[in-house]
């Protein structure tokens, strides 16, 4: 509906007789409900795990901090390498892949 810029679609029975319409608002409401259900389903196993092992919740800020620190360190090493040695285009892409964790070479 979005690609064709349609505001409504007809609903027909098997004989092609129109029995109603579906509006873009109906579609958006349905999508919002389904997305909310998926998010709830994803969150539920995490909550169950935390309830079973409550001590894990204590380490969440530490783990998040460590991931931020390692990302900054990786970026710093990449920038230092670029400033010390001029890189050609191929080397720049390889270095970028290393910094974002796509390659390990």
* pLDDT tens per residue, range 2-20: 778 888 999 999 999 999 9
Cβ 98 vs Cβ 104: under 8 Å: yes
Long-range CB contacts (within 8 A, 24+) of 32-37: none
Can you say whether the dihedral through the CA atoms of 59, 63, 65, 66 is positive or negative?
positive
Supply φ then ψ for residue 18, to 5 degrees. Answer: -70, 130
Domain segments of the chain: what residues? 1-52, 58-105
Mean pLDDT to the nearest integer, 41-59: 81
The pLDDT of residue 12 is 93
Q: How far apart are the first and last CA of the chain?
A: 46
């Amino acid at each position: 509906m979005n690609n064709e810029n349609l505001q409504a679609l007809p609903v027909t029975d098997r004989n092609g007789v129109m029995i109603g319409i579906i509006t873009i608002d109906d579609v958006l409401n349905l999508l919002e409900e389904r997305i909310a259900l998926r998010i709830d389903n994803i969150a539920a196993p995490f909550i169950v795990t935390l309830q079973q092992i409550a001590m894990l919740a204590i380490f969440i800020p530490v783990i998040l901090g460590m991931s931020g620190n390692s990302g900054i360190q990786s970026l710093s090493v990449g920038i230092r390498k670029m400033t010390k040695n001029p890189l050609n285009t191929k080397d720049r892409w390889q270095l970028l892949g290393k910094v974002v964790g796509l390659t390990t070479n």
